Amino acid sequence: MPELPEVETVVRTLEKQIKDQEIIDIIVRYPKMIDGSVYDFKKRLIGQHFRAFHRRGKYIIFEMDDFLLISHLRMEGKYFIQDSREPMSHHVHVVFQFHQNKQLRYHDTRKFGRMEIMEKNADLSMFHNLGMEPFDETFNEHYVYEICKNKRVPLKTLLLNQSFVAGIGNIYADEILFACRLRPGKSCQRISHKDAANIVFYTREVLSQAILAGGTTIRSYTSSLGVTGLFQLDCKVHTKKICQSCHHEIKVKRIGGRSSYYCPNCQK
DNA sequence: ACACTGACCTGCGAGC
DNA sequence: TGCTCGCAGGTCAGTG
């Protein structure tokens, strides 16, 4: 389940692996993966080079010569860089062919990932209704408090809302709320200014620690593992049974349709 | 305008 | 052993 830190790791890794590679052919084995016509997708991308690598929320943005190639990994998407003579898993759905038998292969067991092409001058600030990046200074205590005071949804649901802040998924939402000592089910409108400040601080803290941890996997990167971050590397509550802080039993509750882990003793 | 639900997918584990 | 069922989760369309 790649979230912001994993996507960031993938972007940085791919930059090292395929920068300036030219696409000489594309094989689309599962057309629904492509937003729009596969014919246009191939026609526009063949002959283009991977020039720059960006991330917006959980989206990977490949800057090509004349277009932006946008890729979302959803739950299980992975990129592999392999030789075209290596056997190909049937979970590989899109293949970008480079020179010298080199390929970028998109692997996705559940076929949830999507790719789309946008014009190079497209405004990405609002695309897919994405909210601000967690590391932007506009994501601050004032913003969080003002949004929260008019919302009745649980805090967890708000953190997962990509138009509130982009890049947080189920795992890090649980970890951030644990670090804040706030229950995932707590109503947004009941938080204090101090809670809002904590949400900002710990969102950045948890995400940047995870990016740091994911970054270490770049060094141990092997093509057989795919280009992916090490998620769940340092979870304190998510999927845990016992609280590492107070040894109380961790509770699991469905909030907003997602399983949410929290310590009823540490989180109020 | 806001809030909630189901569909999209496949693999895996529990229960019978 | 082999089957069915439910769950995992990010996003978006559809409904209330």
- Tell me the pLDDT band of A219, cut-offs 50, 70 and 90: very low
Nearest CA among A144, A145, A73 for reference residue A106: A73
> Does residue A112 reach within 7 angstroms of strand C, measured from its CB?
yes
A258 is catalytic: yes
- Tell me the pLDDT band of A228, cut-offs 50, 70 and 90: low
Burial class, A43, CB count within 10 angstroms (exposed 0-12 / middle 13-18 / buried 19+): exposed
Rounded average pLDDT over A162-169: 93
**pLDDT exceeds cutoff 80 at A38:** yes
What is the per-residue DSSP string for A129-165? G--B-TTSTTSSHHHHHHHHTT--SBHHHHHH-TTTB
Covered bases, chain B (protein CB within 7 Å): 2-6, 8-11
**pLDDT exceeds cutoff 60 at A10:** yes
Are A58 and A166 a contacting pair, CB within 8 Å? yes
Say what the pLDDT of residue A218 is: 43
> Does residue A3 reach within 7 angstroms of strand C, measured from its CB?
yes
Rounded average pLDDT over A5-12: 89
- Tell me the pLDDT band of A231, cut-offs 50, 70 and 90: very low
Read off the pTM.
Answer: 0.93
Are A83 and A12 a contacting pair, CB within 8 Å? no
Say what the pLDDT of residue A221 is: 44
CA of A1 to C1' of C3 (A): 29
Mean pLDDT of chain A: 89
Query: How far apart (Å, rounded) are the C-alpha atoms in residues A127 and A58?
Result: 12
> Does residue A224 reach within 7 angstroms of strand B, measured from its CB?
no
- Token pair of A63, please? 């800057």
Provide the β-strand partners of residue A106.
A79, A94
